């Protein structure tokens, strides 16, 4: 696995939807790592890949750069998908890139993208379920039942469907893939680990994602398929663009991320690098875990020195 220190810059004018994203990356042919070049990684659906600033786009770059044979980039909003495809093709022309527009909580659509990868390549090795929505920014008493359930549908049901259809495909064997194996990566959040990092429906939906990573990992015992959750902290993406833009307008961007020990916000590429690790053989003994990638925010209880009361 390549270990370049470069960050992918994600700051064009068109930032995509600020509140909802849903994309899938599928890598359906050999995805090799530095540990064992004889063990291929084949298909990886990656969700939430449309946003110019997003974790999905950065992850597509990481997997393409590090040996994915084919990538499916999928999103609810297809505005930037073809541009992302051209970008990846220009940088890594050997990678086969497919784009799909669908709702990640639509079971038929999720099954269709997995079936397409299996039909074309005969294997699925990685599924990055990165779909998500923020939902309303409001006190829980001001949120309707419909809005609450919509957040869970997008953030939690999409993960369930990715595992439901991705895991059986990963267990299919062939001459090129003699043993069942695969990695399902799901995007949760530090809001799913502790309170006060998001709204009630958002936090509940992300806690559900962490729980699914743990329970599904046990239900897949002995299959060779691993499931892990990524829990990003404050990352500049299409979803958080308003926060960063407002801070820049006020000249207070240096204050963003000051509650974590690194005292800065994160880059989408920093999450993508962990996704790459979890999708590779480098993480072959990592399973059922919630990986906080948050600058250390969840390691303690943030406070302002001198103001403990």
Tens digits of per-residue pLDDT, 18-59? 344 445 555 554 454 443 433 334 545 554 445 556 899 999
Higher pLDDT, 39 or 71: 71
| Sequence-separated contacts (24+) of 36-42 with Cβ below 8 Å | 36/281, 39/281, 40/69, 40/125, 40/176, 40/177, 41/67, 41/68, 41/125, 41/126, 41/279, 41/280, 41/281, 42/69, 42/70, 42/121, 42/122, 42/123, 42/124, 42/125, 42/177
Q: What is the pLDDT of residue 306?
A: 64
Higher pLDDT, 302 or 21: 302
| Sequence-separated contacts (24+) of 193-198 with Cβ below 8 Å | 193/231, 193/290, 193/292, 193/298, 194/298, 197/233, 197/297, 198/134
Query: If you average pLDDT over every residue of the chain, what do you get?
Result: 84
Whole-angstrom Cα distance, residue 46 to residue 92? 17
Q: What is the pLDDT of residue 219?
A: 98
Higher pLDDT, 200 or 25: 200
- Among 58-62, 216-220, 258-262, name the one with the lowest average pLDDT: 258-262
Q: What is the pLDDT of residue 195?
A: 87
Cβ atoms of 11 and 256 within 8 Å: the answer is no
- Among 183-187, 240-244, 260-264, name the one with the lowest average pLDDT: 240-244
pLDDT digits (tens, 9 = 90+) for 139-179: 999 999 999 999 999 999 999 999 999 999 999 999 999 99
The partner residues of 266 in beta bridges, in order of sequence, read: 235
Q: Tell if the pTM clears 0.75, that is, is over it.
A: yes
Residue 4, pLDDT > 90, answer: no
Cβ atoms of 151 and 133 within 8 Å: the answer is yes
Q: What is the pLDDT of residue 64?
A: 94
| CATH architecture of the domain with range 20-234+270-293 | 3-Layer(aba) Sandwich (3.40)
User: Cα dist. 64→17, 32, 107, 296 in Å?
Assistant: 24, 11, 27, 29
> What mean pLDDT do residues 87-102 have?
95
Whole-angstrom Cα distance, residue 69 to residue 124? 11
Q: End-to-end alpha-carbon separation of the chain, Å?
A: 48
Q: Find, among 198, 194, 189, the residue nearest to 290 by Cα.
A: 189
Q: What is the pLDDT of residue 8?
A: 32
Whole-angstrom Cα distance, residue 157 to residue 150? 10
Q: What is the pLDDT of residue 144?
A: 98
> What mean pLDDT do residues 225-250 have?
85
pLDDT above 90 as % of the chain: 64
Q: What is the pLDDT of residue 257?
A: 77
User: Cα dist. 157→34, 153, 239 in Å?
Assistant: 34, 5, 19
Q: How confident is the model at residue 189 (pLDDT cuts 50, 70, 90)?
A: very high
Q: What is the pLDDT of residue 121?
A: 94
Please report, to the nearest 10 degrees, the dihedral formed by the alpha carbons of residues 120, 282, 178, 176 taken in order: 40
Whole-angstrom Cα distance, residue 263 to residue 257? 5
Q: What is the pLDDT of residue 26?
A: 55
Higher pLDDT, 25 or 107: 107
Cβ atoms of 169 and 114 within 8 Å: the answer is yes
Catalytic residue, chosen from 202, 218, 285, 303, is: 202
> What mean pLDDT do residues 220-248 have?
87
Q: What is the pLDDT of residue 183?
A: 97
Q: What is the pLDDT of residue 239?
A: 74
User: Cα dist. 193→10, 84, 198 in Å?
Assistant: 27, 32, 11
Q: What is the pLDDT of residue 3?
A: 40
* Most confident region among 40-44, 190-194, 220-224, 304-308 by mean pLDDT: 220-224
Higher pLDDT, 261 or 223: 223
76 is catalytic: no
279: CB partners within 8 A, 6+ apart:
27, 31, 41, 44, 63, 125, 126, 128, 183, 185
- Among 17-21, 127-131, 248-252, name the one with the lowest average pLDDT: 17-21
Q: What is the pLDDT of residue 27?
A: 56
């Amino acid at each position: 696995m390549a270990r370049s220190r470069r960050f992918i810059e994600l700051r064009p004018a068109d930032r995509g939807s600020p509140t909802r994203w849903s994309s899938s990356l599928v890598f359906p042919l050999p995805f090799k790592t530095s540990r064992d070049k004889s063990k291929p990684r084949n298909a990886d659906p990656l969700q939430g890949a449309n946003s110019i600033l997003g974790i999905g786009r950065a992850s597509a770059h990481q997997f393409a750069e590090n040996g994915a044979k084919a990538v499916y980039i999928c999103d609810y909003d297809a505005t930037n998908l073809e541009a992302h495809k051209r970008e990846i093709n220009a940088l890594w022309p050997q990678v086969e890139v497919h784009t799909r527009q669908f709702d990640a909580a639509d079971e038929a659509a999720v099954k269709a993208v997995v079936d397409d990868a299996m039909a074309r390549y005969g294997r699925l090795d990685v599924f990055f379920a990165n779909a998500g929505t923020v939902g309303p920014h409001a006190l829980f008493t001001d949120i309707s039942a419909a809005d609450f359930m919509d957040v869970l549908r997008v953030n939690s049901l999409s993960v369930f469907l990715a595992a439901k259809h991705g895991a059986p495909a990963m267990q299919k064997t062939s001459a090129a893939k003699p043993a069942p194996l695969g990695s399902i990566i799901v995007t949760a959040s530090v809001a799913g680990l502790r309170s006060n990092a998001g709204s009630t429906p958002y936090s509940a939906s992300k806690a559900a994602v962490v729980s699914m990573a743990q329970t599904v990992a046990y239900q897949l015992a002995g299959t060779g398929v691993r499931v892990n959750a990524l829990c990003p902290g404050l990352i500049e993406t299409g979803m958080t663009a308003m926060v960063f833009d407002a801070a820049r307008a006020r000249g207070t961007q240096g204050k963003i991320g000051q509650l974590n020990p690194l005292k800065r916000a994160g880059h989408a590429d920093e999450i993508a690098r962990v996704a790459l690790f979890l999708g590779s053989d480098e993480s072959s003994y990592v399973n059922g875990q919630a990986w906080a990638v948050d600058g250390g925010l969840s390691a303690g209880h943030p406070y302002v020195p001198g103001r403990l009361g």
